[in-house]
Chains A and B, each alone.
Chain A
Amino acid sequence: MKEILFYLFGVISAVLALLSVTSKNVIKGGVALLGSFISLGAVYFTVGAEFVGIIQVIVYGGAIIVLYLFALLTMDVKKIAEEKVRGSSAAAGAFLSILLMILLLLEASKIAGKVKPAVSGAKELALPLFFKYLLPFEIVSILLLVATIGAVAIARREE
């Protein structure tokens, strides 16, 4: 039963992710992405990683998609759609995506079969994060802070 649900939600999230990048209407694309994120959360539930699944829904389903849709509605989407896609930027995008895919596949093949859903509660995730891997964690948070300040600075300059 659990396996059937695992594959079911896995397929749903992959199909919706495909829909989200092929959809002509950006808002519908955003909604498809929302569905994809929620069914990813359900995939985590089926393997018993309940905490991760809920966080997935809160962070991606809640916060990030709301931000995307809010930004999309405030932009002039038609004007952006009329702009021609430059070959160089398309090539750069393709290169980066392929690179990212290779990296992900390499790492995924290393951990395949070694997944431990039991180590997915709040406590089990927090302890290594705040003790063993404290330094990378802090570096990531500083990076995020830098990005935030950068975004504010760019928004202010345009004023």
Chain B
Amino acid sequence: MTENFLSLLFIVVLMLVAVPPITYLERKVLGHMQQRPGPMVVGPHGILQPIADAVKLIFKEDVVPKGADKFLFIIAPSFSVFAALLAASVVPIGFINAVPMKSGLLFVMAMSAISIYALFLAGYSSNDKYSFLAGMRAAAQVLGFELPMGFALMAVVILFGSFDFNEIIKWQQQHGWGILYQPIAFLIFLVMMIAEINRPPFDLPEGESELVGGFHTEYSGMRFAAFFFGEYINIIVLSLVITALFFGGWSGPFAEKFPILGVIYHLLKASFFIFLAFWLRATFPRYRFDQMLSIMWKVFLPLSILNLLIAAGEALLVG
């Protein structure tokens, strides 16, 4: 029991502490990819930039716009942070597993379904047409990506025969990484993951060039920061999930003997996908709204359903 509590504390602290450096790294990576240095002023190579950002956000005036739905406006950001932290609590990082749950994978799905209300309610309650449009986009986007994502996960679950992350990783230790069996599911899950965390090229609810700031146009100070804490924690959690499903999670050489290596392996593998999110942001232009919906519904959904057949065949062969 105390072990679980300590693990929970570790995971929550890790998630909250990891966000500021990740925002710094993102700006640096984006900068170098676009042939500019990125933040350079605060500290050597701008390394203290996240602290400056935090100070600014804490002391910024907290504005609630006139005509806003006050109650919904205030609770909307909390959906983002709490859903992301709850999802983080069930994902094992090496031997650190705060809440070992038989249906852990489904729980992560459920929390991702809840976190979308942050964008939707923020958009609705702001009493601003840009936010409102962004909220509508967020709702349409969630209807688009949830089905292919669910079907892609269903395929891997058929293969692994469990929703439990630990069981899934054990299966991969015996039979080899999930991506060898399910490359299509990996591809679909990767795209849907980017859509879920609202990163480019699927950042339609933010769409600076079209919607000012999107759902967070009217937010300032810590409430604004809460959205981004939620978003970045979600990136970390989903990167951990995708490595657990397709890249053997904490498995690796000597991970059995020295459990601490497992933690490092899992975090290293996950950090590649965090990097990938930055990379995609620097590389791809944003999808138009109808393009996004049509690839979700017309390409990925049928593909993910077909993939179920492959998964069923593999499950029969491999067992």
Does B bind A?
A: yes
Task: Give the size range of B's interface with the partner.
Answer: 20 to 34
Query: Once the chains bind, are B103 and A50 in contact (CB under 8 Å)?
Result: yes
A121 CB, nearest partner CB in chain B, Å? 7
| Contacts A34-B117, A66-B120; A27 near B139 (Cβ below 8 A) | no
How far, in Å, is A151 (CB) from chain B's closest CB?
14
Given A50-B101, A51-B102, A66-B139: A61 and B121 interface contact (C-beta under 8 Å)? no
- Give CA–CA (A99, B142) in the complex, Å: 36
Q: A31 at interface (Cβ–Cβ under 8 A)?
A: yes
Q: Mark A62-78, 1 if CB is under 8 A from B, else 0.
A: 11011101100110000
User: What separation, in Å, do the CA atoms of A69 and B143 have in the docked complex?
Assistant: 12
Interface centre among A25, A55, A62, A65 (most CB of B within 10 A): A62
Q: In the bound complex, how far is the Cα of B111 from the Cα of A62, in angstroms?
A: 9
How many inter-chain residue pairs (CB < 8 Å) link A and B?
A: 68
For residue A27, which residues in chain B have a CB less than 8 angstroms away from its CB?
A: 69, 72, 124
The answer to whether B136 and A51 have CB atoms under 8 Å apart is no
Are B146 and A63 in contact, with the CB atoms below 8 A?
yes
Report the count of interface residues on A (CB-CB < 8 A): 25
* C-alpha gap A54/B121 in the complex (Å): 22
Residues of A within 8 A of B143 (CB): 63, 66-67, 70
Complex contact B114–A62 (CB within 8 A): yes
The answer to whether A38 and B114 touch across the interface, beta carbons within 8 angstroms, is yes
* Contact flags A29-48 to B (C-beta < 8 A → 1, else 0): 00100100010010000000
Produce 1/0 per residue, B118-154, CB < 8 A to A. Answer: 0011001000000010011001101100100000000
B113 adjacent to chain A (CB < 8 Å): yes
Residues of A within 8 A of B (CB): 25, 27-28, 31, 34, 38, 41, 50-51, 54-55, 57-58, 61-63, 65-67, 69-70, 73-74, 121-122
